[in-house]
């Protein structure tokens, strides 16, 4: 049985999913110069990525963004699973913001003018963490049954 996302999760899933899908599709069509720029910035924060060629890295990044965006936009993907993908990906982006020199003001988490485009990734991380806290469908049903049972009970002990 497919459980659709709760109404409160639809708007953030649509917004972040569309953002990721668009970003991934744009990177998929990136030229060599763009690929080298994206790769160069990532290598500054994560030096082990230097082993990957720039074009391959950008293509893998694009495919990852498309996968995360697709998971967020697909209503049959559970919100917690989509949140796990979003949290993992955006955690890497926040790490990029924190590790890249010149993105933050000295001794602060506040972004510089150059850091604003990366600082927004903290919002994506927050949305992903919020999705991870989503209740499972069977927990919601059990909670409803408990509340209904307490409402029907006439005992004083149940009405706290």
Predicted pLDDT of residue 35: 95
Mean pLDDT by 10 residues, the chain (160 residues): 78 94 94 95 94 96 96 93 95 92 90 87 92 71 65 61
Predicted pLDDT of residue 123: 92
Is the separation of the CB atoms in 14 and 74 below 8 Å?
A: no
Predicted pLDDT of residue 19: 94
Is the separation of the CB atoms in 101 and 44 below 8 Å?
A: yes
pTM for this predicted structure: 0.79
Is the separation of the CB atoms in 14 and 73 below 8 Å?
A: yes
Contacts of 58 (CB under 8 A, 6+ apart): 27, 30, 34, 35, 38, 39
Q: Residues 92-95: contacts with CB within 8 Å, 24+ apart?
A: 92/46, 93/118, 93/121, 93/124, 93/125, 94/121, 94/122, 94/125, 95/45, 95/46
């Amino acid at each position: 049985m497919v459980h659709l996302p709760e109404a409160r999760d639809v708007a953030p899933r649509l917004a972040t999913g569309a953002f990721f899908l668009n970003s991934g599709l744009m990177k998929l069509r990136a030229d060599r110069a763009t690929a080298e720029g994206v790769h160069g910035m990532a290598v500054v924060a994560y030096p082990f990525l230097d082993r990957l060629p720039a074009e391959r890295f950008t293509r893998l990044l694009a495919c990852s963004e498309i996968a995360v965006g697709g998971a967020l936009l697909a209503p049959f993907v559970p919100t917690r699973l989509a949140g796990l993908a979003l949290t993992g990906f955006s955690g890497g982006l926040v790490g990029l913001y924190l590790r890249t020199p010149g993105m933050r003001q000295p001794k602060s988490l506040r972004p510089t003018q150059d850091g604003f485009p990366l600082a927004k990734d903290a919002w994506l991380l927050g949305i992903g963490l919020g999705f991870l806290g989503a209740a499972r469908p069977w927990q919601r049903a059990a909670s409803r049954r408990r509340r209904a049972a307490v409402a029907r009970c006439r005992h004083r002990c149940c009405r706290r």
